Structure 1
Amino acid sequence: MPSAAERTRTLVQSTCSAVLLVPGLRHAPSDHLMPLARNVGPDGDLFLELPADSPVVRAATHAEDDELSAVLEITDVAPVSVPHRIRGRAWVSGRLTSVPGISGPGRTTLRLETDEAYVDDLWGAQEVEPDELRDAAPDPLRGHEAELLQHLHSAHGEQLRTLCGLLGERTARRCAAHLPSIVPLALDRYGLRVRLCEGAGQCYDARFEFPAPVRDVIELSDAMHTLFEAAAR
């Protein structure tokens, strides 16, 4: 399974929505607190690009002794329609400083010096040390996951339903007309997670591991074919 640090770094460098929480700015419009771009530097610090007129930028520019504390909160929402759609959240806290001269017109880059990080997602909740976040690699599928899940959901529903045959007794005794609905929920280099929903709104997740971690979408295609072939037997 991906480590907590890998999951946190994947969320930081993904397109998930994020907002900066800064003391004294809780009532600022949320769109003024949302970074336009996020990156992780070689030391594990976060570089966040915001509109130059953002109240966070003004606060960081005028902070004394670099003591403006902040928390970047990231919310991960499934890219397909599914019950309980929030897949997880991550928080990275630290101190904000302004980094002049590296952004385009109308934008300013802020550095969030990482003190603490925490992730609470489909795998569980766990703290992440700054050096772990620095050394972790984001998932190689992060830029393609949303599109891949949407494609699986819209074009491969029948193949997804065959995965029920791999779930043992919970679905083995059901006829095809009463199998639970199955929706692709999450995808990473280690495997595919789906959410199955039965009558009365009861849902549960199942995860299917790939034979080996994939490094790109080409290897993912081979792994998915292997998975569907196993389910069809």
Structure 2
Amino acid sequence: MPSAAERTRTLVQSTCSALLLVPGLDLARSEHLIPDSRSVGPEGDVFLEFPADSPAVRAATHAQGDELTAVLELTDVAPVSVPHRIRGRARVSGWLTSVPGIARPGRMMLRLEFGEAYVDDLWGAEDIEPEDFRDAAPDPLVSHEVELLQHLHAAHDEQMGTLCELLGERTAQACAHRRPSAVPVALDRFGLRVRFIESKDACFDARFEFPEPVRDVTGLRRAMHTLFEAASH
């Protein structure tokens, strides 16, 4: 399974929603606290790009030598329609400074020096140490996950349903009686998570591991072909 640090790095560098919380800034205008871009430097610091006149930039510039604490809140929502759609939340907290000269015109780069982080997602809840976050890498499928999950859901619904056959004898009998709808809810280099929806009030998740971790979309296609082949026999 991906480590907590890898999962958090993946969220930081994904397209999930993010909000920078800075003491003293008005959360009622939260749209001004959403970074235009996010990246992670070699030392594990998080770089956030904002309009140069944004409240976060003004706060970081005004603080200058004083330590300005801030928290980056991340919320990960499944890109397909499914019950219990929030897949995870993460918080990265640290100290905020402005970094002039490296952002686009009219923008300013802010650096969030990593202090601590916490992730609570489909795998569980864990704290992340600075060294682990620095050394982790985002999942190689992160930039494709949304598109891939939506494609699987829209174009391979029947094949997704056959995965019910891989869940063991007891569950397979239930599937044979009334096959639940199978929605792909999360994807990473190690495997696919599927949410089986039995009724409006009942659903469960199953995890299908790939024979070996995939490194790119080509490897994923082979892994999915192997998975669907196994389910069809």
User: What TM-score results when the alignment is normalised by the length of structure 2?
Assistant: 0.97
Query: In 2, Cα distance between the equivalents of 1:66 and 1:221?
Result: 51
CA deviation vs aligned residue, 1:197-228 (integer Å, no higher than 9, x gap):
11241111000000000000000000000000
- CA, structure 1 residues 179+111, in 2 after alignment: closer, same or farther (shift >3 Å)? same
Q: How many residues align?
A: 233
For structure 2, list consecutive stretches of 5 or more residues without a partner in the other structure: none
How far did 1:71 drift? 0.2
Matching residue of 1:141: 141
Contact 1:66 1:95 in 2 (8 A): no
Structure 1 regions of 5+ residues with no counterpart?
none
Dislocated runs of 4+, deviation >6 Å: none
1:130 aligned partner: 130
- How has the CA–CA distance of structure 1 residues 168 and 54 changed in structure 2, closer, same or farther, with 3 Å as cutoff? same
Closer/same/farther in 2, CA of residues 175 and 118 from structure 1, 3 Å limit: closer
Q: Deviations over 1:44-92 (max 9, x none)?
A: 0011001111101000001042411000001100000000100001110
Q: Determine the C-alpha separation between the residues in 2 that align with 1:66 and 1:211.
A: 51
Deviation track 1:163-216 (CA, whole Å, cap 9, x = no partner) reads 000111343223646111110000000000000111241111000000000000
Residues 28/107 of structure 1: CA separation in 2 closer, same or farther (3 Å cut):
farther
TM-score (norm 1): 0.97
- Contact 2:52–2:106 (CA<8 Å) still a contact in 1? yes
CA contact (8 A) 1:91 1:119 kept: yes
CA, structure 1 residues 50+28, in 2 after alignment: closer, same or farther (shift >3 Å)? Answer: farther
- Give the residue type in structure 1 aligned to 2:12: V
Does the 8 Å contact 1:88/1:122 carry over to 2? yes
Q: Offset at 1:155? A: 0.3
Mapped contact 2:164–2:175 kept (Cα < 8 A): no
- Which residue number corresponds to residue 212 of structure 1? 212
CA distance in 2: counterparts of 1:26 and 1:168, whole angstroms: 52
Q: CA RMSD in A?
A: 1.2
